[in-house]
Amino acid sequence: MTSALSTEHFTATQNACKLCAPLGAALVFKGIANTVPLLHGSQGCSTYIRRYMISHFKEPLDIACSNFGEDTAIFGGGANIKLAIDNIRRQYDPDLIGVATTCLSETIGDDVPMFIRTYQADHRDEDLPALVHVATPSYQGTHMQGFHGAVRALVSALAEPEPAREPTRVNLFAGMVSPADLRALRTIIASFGLTPVLVPDYSDTLNGPLWTEYQRIPEGGTPVAALRQSGAAAASIECGLVLAGAGETAGTWLHENRNVPLHRLGLPIGIRQTDRFFDCLAALSGRPVPEKYTAQRGRLLDALVDGHKHLNGVRAAIFGEEDLVAGLAGYCGELGIVPVLCATGGGDGRFARTIRRVVPAAQHDRMQILEDVDFVDIEKALADMDVDLLIGHSKGYTMARRLKKPLVRVGFPVHDRVDGSRLAHLGYRGAQQLFDRLANTLIEEKQKSNAVGYTYY
Amino acid sequence: MAMGAKNNKPTKTVRPDPKDPATIKDRLLAKYPPKVARKRAKQIVVNKVKPGGDVPVISSNVRTVPGLIGQRGCCYAGCKGVVLGPTRDIINITHGPIGCGFYSWLTRRNQTDPDSGDGQNYMPYCFSTDMQDEEIIFGGEKKLKQAIQEAYDNFKPKAIAVFATCPVGLIGDDVHAVCREMKAKLGINVFGFSCEGYKGVSQSAGHHIANNGIFKHVVGLDDTVKEGNYRINLLGEYNIGGDAFEIERLFEKCGITLVSSYSGNSSIDQFANSHTADLNLIMCHRSINYVAEMMETKFGVPWIKVNFIGAAATAKSLRKIAQYFDEPELTAVVEKVIAEEMPAVEAACADVRSRTEGKRAMLFVGGSRAHHYQELFNELGMKTLSAGYEFGHRDDYEGRRVLPDIKVDADSRNIEELAIEPDPERFNPRISEEKKADLEAAGLKFAEYEGMMPEMEDGSLVIDDPSQHETDELIKQFKPDIFCAGIKEKYAVQKHGIPLKQLHSYDYGGPYAGFKGAVNFYKEIDRMVNSKVWQYMRAPWEEHPELSATYAWE
């Protein structure tokens, strides 16, 4: 096989480490109750994105489309979006239709907000679903911009003005995490006597049971009514150390327009970030951290002490979405793993300094941080790095296979394992699971390469 | 079926008689606005085969209504993903923003065997120009040239193909001009496809564009005649789950020489001299018939329809090849191979059939599998209640006899039809008109595909481009024992307690073609329709709530 790694700098992208913006937006809309995502563009986008996300979540995941044809591309998609909304209403009777644009409708300059206003005016006497639009041209940013953009769009379109403050209501903008993580965070917040409103919350819609009765749209998700009340919350928590530097998010919108205090934390990965998350909830609720979480934390630390020998000094490469990588890098620092390479396909300029902030200074000179890169760049950087372990999503498998290094799968997409939607990363229990998976992977490597076959580690 | 009626709450609505497909059709349409219902009504047909083989007209290859969640892909997907994707040694560059390239990155399960060629295999790679704002505004040709140059510098491939995505056509990038320029500069074959996603009504447009492109830029570049007897091409076989490997095994056993495959386990060199074959075999009529027709017009290679899905169909197809070449030696070998292979198949079938007989299937796949796989279900004694294509045309449903009656609408008119003339030097009819007439009289049909509907039972529902809503309704009404479609439908159907077999990716199983494939499929369907898991769908306390309420200590 010819080597991919001979040119110094690549103009084009080979084996990308990022996905496109409408995917992120569609995922967010799947986390709102009784909602149909609608991509405004050609049908391939909705088919590809459905197909791709389903391979990770292994759940029904419908995304409608306004089905541009060649004439639509020339004359504009106004008629198509109207017809699409009509048909979705008839078939699904949704509470919300989330409209995300594609590069096609963005390139021709369709004025989707105007289309929506016209539709609402034409049907003013009807019981209309909420119609929320987010601009997601895939030639700007990555799936994460689409994700965060859609969260902001939902809140800014729906949060009612001058709400009566509800002291126990807390908005949580957790970012693109797994259904298992969302479930964990919801439980944690509720255990402080707070009422969590997760935007989005696809923990049930994308990780549900078999149905004993027909469901038009899979049950679960944050109700539209809760989004309308999001301005009434006592606080918003927004997770993501990189996101925390973003100027325009759902959290900043609510802070600026509805006066909702904003707490910008990291993803609660590992000990320090999870401690901060619990501290924040304790402060918001005025209640102590429930005993069971202190116990979880205690057991985690106990396991870390017991298993430190397996992880200390291990050299890992982490790749994926910025905030997940930043969170994992911080946790690796706590575990004694040296994150010798932190890489992302995104590139908003804040990644490198965020990573340096969470990784112990002593490790900085052994660490390379890459932004806006593809897998060719990552593999090239790894060529002379001698890593022990790769931490990232399934698209890193080809690289792992060539490098003959184990890959611990995290985040999205995970389509070569069965547990993509059940992977836990957050909270003390998520940290525990991650620790167990990392340590076991390393032990297994040792066993595989050992001639005798020892069984005590 | 395993999910017995006792495990279900009585439904409020009385289950309609499955023998009344017209009622079910009405139910599928009930929620649509009148205009949409009228359009869809023409795409949902109750089958009725008249003596002579005429079937009802079905509207197909028409645009999907906005807001109906269908399963179709786009022109780009059909061109890059389906037809060109399985060729391992062409570097395919997606010219566009990152999504399209990413989602078509080794997504389909077409397998390849790099060691059967020169080892070059670019299928695990995803090349994209990853267009940004700047290119959308100022044009992306410069970046495309750089991408081609880089791909060349890094890999030194024999050929590079460029695929245009939606924005490319809109901003006016000329991918063909760029390809011509880079071809001259690099001295390798570089060619482009204007397969923007909004063209046509489905991936079918992309298949056509891919066929045209391969024919224009590759077929006929190498006149070397491959050694071996009975030289054939296999068209429309994409080696999902290793199907082509099984078919290749049978060809080899029979002494049939495969010149080129379009495009499972293929290399570009095979395309280049595929016009030297003496017969084209078509598996998937929809995606590849254009190449066969153009090759016949230009080079005189006739084509016949074959089907290697199903043991009987495989035997029949091998016999058709023998009939065409009309050599006693080949006929003898083919019969010997069939005789050798069939006992194992028959034994497996007899075992499984006792557990599958009488069960009911539905198939909604692509442009040929919904037809071909009915063969395997027939062998298992299973009935096909309903079937349809995602992107088939009327000829795939009703047979090529309707070709003259098909109205070409604006969407199809925009897809180029190449004007092909016989090649002045290389046109060479492989068999004489008399010989052809003799073979036809003996039952071998040339350039003919009879379509899916003439082979389906009267009263079965044929549904073109079904929406997710219609799919949900269908399974509610029919409760079939198995549903065959793709990953997009899989998990929704299974939520209802009905197993779904993916016939695009084979659920990462296979092969299902040929004799060994048939055995694999029998076992797989046995596993799926006889699974015991569905009986646990309700927990005991959900099933008998009165029990949990009457414990003595409460």
Size of interface A-B (CB pairs under 8 A): 244
**Cis bond before residue B204 (omega within 30° of 0):** no
The answer to whether the beta carbons of residues A350 and A424 sit under 8 Å apart is no
Q: Which amino acid is at B419?
A: A
Q: Give B79's contacts in chain A (Cβ within 8 Å).
A: none
Residues of B annotated as catalytic are: 74, 77, 108, 207
> How does pLDDT run across B171-212, given as a tens digit for each residue?
999 999 999 999 999 999 999 999 999 999 999 999 999 999
Measured between alpha carbons, how far is B228 from B256 in angstroms, rounded to an integer?
A: 8
Nearest Cβ partner for B126 among A15, A45, A211? A15
DSSP per-residue codes, A372-398: S--HHHHHHHHTTT--SEEEE-GGGHH
For chain B, percent of residues with pLDDT exceeding 90: 89
Across chain B, how many H-helices and E-strands are there? Answer: 23, 14
CATH (one of 3.30.70.20, 3.40.50.1980, 3.40.640.10, 3.20.20.150) for B223-350+407-448: 3.40.50.1980
B512-520: average pLDDT: 98
Give the model's pLDDT for residue A343: 98
pLDDT at A6 over 70: no
Largest CA distance in chain A: 78
Taking residues A255-280, report their average pLDDT: 98
Give the ranges where B232-361 is alpha helix by DSSP (H).
Answer: 243-254, 268-272, 285-299, 311-325, 328-356
User: What mean pLDDT comes out for the span A251-257?
Assistant: 98
Of B99, B171, B469, the CB nearest to A138: B99
- The alpha carbon of residue B15 is apart from the nearest alpha carbon of chain A, in Å, by 14
How far is residue B55's CA from residue B48's CA, in Å, rounded to a whole number?
6
Taking the C-alpha atoms of residue B359 and residue B520, their distance in angstroms, rounded to an integer, is 18
Structure tokens at A122: 């034409």
For residue B358, is it left (φ>0), alpha (ψ between -120 and 50) or beta? left
Q: Are B154 and A4 within 8 A, CB to CB?
A: yes
CATH H-level, domain B75-217: superfamily: Nitrogenase molybdenum iron protein domain (3.40.50.1980)
Q: What strands, in cross-sheet order, belong to the sheet with B159-164?
A: A13-14, B127-128, B90-95, B159-164, B189-193
**Predicted pLDDT of residue B19:** 66
- What's the rounded Cα separation, in Å, for the pair B422 and B428? 9
pLDDT at A2: 34
ipTM of the assembly? 0.95
Question: 67-86 in A: which are within 8 Å (CB) of B?
Answer: 67-73, 80-81, 83-86
Q: How far away is chain B from the Cα of A155, in angstroms, using its nearest Cα?
A: 24
C-alpha to C-alpha distance for A453 and B173, rounded to whole angstroms = 60
Residue with tokens 């003596």: B51
Cβ count near A23 (within 10 Å)? 31
pTM beyond 0.90: yes
Distance CA A22, CA A5 (A): 31
The Cα angle at residue A23 between residues A428 and A105, in degrees rounded to 5: 155
Peptide bond into B86 cis (omega under 30): no
Interface test with B, best of A62, A103, A136 (most B CBs within 10 A): A103
The answer to whether B256 and B321 have CB atoms below 8 angstroms apart is yes
- Rounded to 5°, the CA angle A271-A272-A275 comes to 85
The confidence band for B548, taking pLDDT boundaries of 50, 70 and 90, is low
Distance CA(A96)–CA(A37), nearest Å, equals 8
Encoding tokens for residue B547?
């029990």
Beta partners for A264? A238
- Domains of chain A, residue spans: 21-158, 166-285, 304-448
Q: Output the average pLDDT for chain B.
A: 94
What single-letter amino acid sits at A28? V
Provide the residue ranges of all domains of chain B, joining segments of one domain with +.
75-217, 223-350+407-448
Contact A216 B472 (CB under 8 A): yes
Report the top-level CATH class of A304-448. Answer: alpha beta
Fold: same for B75-217 and B223-350+407-448: yes
Contact A185, A198 (CB under 8 A): yes
pLDDT (0 to 100) of residue B203: 97
* Number of other CB atoms surrounding residue A212 within 10 Å: 17
Q: Using a CB–CB cutoff of 8 Å, tell me whether A137 touches chain B.
A: yes
Query: pLDDT tens-digit profile of A43-63?
Result: 999 999 999 999 999 999 999
Task: Say how many C-beta atoms besides its own lie within 10 A of residue B414's C-beta.
Answer: 14
pLDDT of residue B18: 57
Q: Which residue has the higher pLDDT, B240 or B1?
A: B240
Is the domain covering A166-285 a CATH 3.40.50.1980 domain?
A: yes
So what's the pLDDT on residue A443? 97
Q: Check whether the bond before B404 is cis (ω within 30° of 0).
A: no
The answer to whether A67 contacts B100, with C-beta atoms less than 8 Å apart, is no
- Cβ separation A45–B74 shorter than 8 A: yes
- Please answer whether residues A48 and B100 qualify as being in contact, where contact means their C-beta atoms are separated by less than 8 angstroms: yes
Query: How many Å apart are CA B293 and CA A359, to the nearest integer?
Result: 63
Question: In terms of Cα–Cα distance, which of B339, B302, B301 is closest to B318?
Answer: B339
Tens of pLDDT, residues B73-93: 999 999 999 999 999 999 999
Check CB contact of A60 with chain B, cutoff 8 Å: yes
Q: How many C-beta neighbours within 10 Å does residue B539 have? A: 10
Confidence of residue B28 (pLDDT cuts 50, 70, 90): very high
Q: For chain A, percent helix, then strand, then coil, each to nearest 5?
A: 50, 15, 35
Under the banding of pLDDT at 50, 70 and 90, the label for residue A4 is very low
Q: Do domains A166-285 and A304-448 have the same CATH topology?
A: yes
Q: Are B298 and B292 in contact (CB under 8 A)?
A: no
Nearest CB among B9, B65, B136 relative to A107 is that of B136
What mean pLDDT is reported for chain A? 95
B353-403, pLDDT tens digit by residue? 999 999 999 999 988 999 999 999 999 999 999 999 999 999 999 999 999
Give the distance, in angstroms, between the CA of residue A33 and the centroid of all CA atoms in the same chain: 18
Given CATH 3.40.50.1980, say whether it is the number of domain A21-158: yes
- CB contact under 8 Å between A38 and B130, yes or no, is no
pLDDT band with cut points at 50, 70 and 90 for residue A3: very low
Model pLDDT for residues A373-407, shown as the tens digit of each residue: 999 999 999 998 999 999 999 999 999 999 999 99
d(CA A441, CA A452): 18
> Does position B524 have pLDDT exceeding 80, yes or no?
yes
